[in-house]
Amino acid sequence: MVPNYGSLVWWLGAIGGGLLAAVIGHFYNTIVEVTKFGWRRIFEPKSAIEHTWFGYHWTVHRREPTLVKSKWIIKKGVTTLFSVRLEHLNVNQATYTGTARRENGQIFMTLTSDQGKPETTIYRYPDSVGRSVKNIHGLWLSYDYDEYIACSACILSAVELSDAEAEGAIMYGVDCFGDKPLMEVKR
């Protein structure tokens, strides 16, 4: 049977098929990522990092050391390994959103401020994959509240801590090297 190129039905089929191919081609990466997300959501076990956490770290506010308390929600991401939402519970109630990925046995998080000003904060924690943990110690790097570059030790805790407990837990999780401006997360 020879196609009738002058037929309206043939032209509608050709245009419809072309549009369908263009739409699928345009959204191909999104379709693949959403499919992978569904697969991970259904078949992969929940990672130890997927949790609602309480975070604590030191920063500088008006030239004074200040303990920052925050609530973290970490869950599987659609187009990334994990999505992260952080909300400061004291000082200025800032919120941040971002992503987390695994890198060389660590969880590497990049968060940006939701307050409209350009600010990126980086967190790095050991990856506790396959283990149930109560506290995860790490380091952060960003700006302090006075907008100077700052970094310090930090902790994610499965339970809310008092200020004194948080201070002790932060110090317990890092090794400092005497009078040198250097620290690392304890092994």
pLDDT tens sequence for the chain (187 residues): 666 666 777 777 778 888 888 887 877 777 777 777 677 666 676 677 888 999 999 999 888 999 999 999 999 888 788 999 999 998 778 899 999 998 998 999 999 988 877 889 999 998 876 667 889 999 999 988 888 999 999 999 999 999 999 999 999 999 988 888 888 898 7
- In sequence order, the β-bridge partners of residue 153 are 139
In 3-state terms the chain splits into helix, strand, coil percentages (rounded to 5) of: 25, 40, 35
According to CATH, what is the number of the domain 51-185?
2.40.128
- In sequence order, the β-bridge partners of residue 83 are 75, 99
Surface-to-core class of residue 55, CB atoms within 10 Å of its CB (0-12 exposed, 13-18 middle, 19+ buried): buried
Length of the chain as a residue count? 187
The set of residues, in sequence order, having a beta carbon less than 8 Å from that of 186 and lying 6+ positions away, is: 137, 172, 173, 174, 175
pLDDT at position 3: 66
pTM attached to this predicted model: 0.77
d(CA 58, CA 154) in angstroms, rounded, equals 7
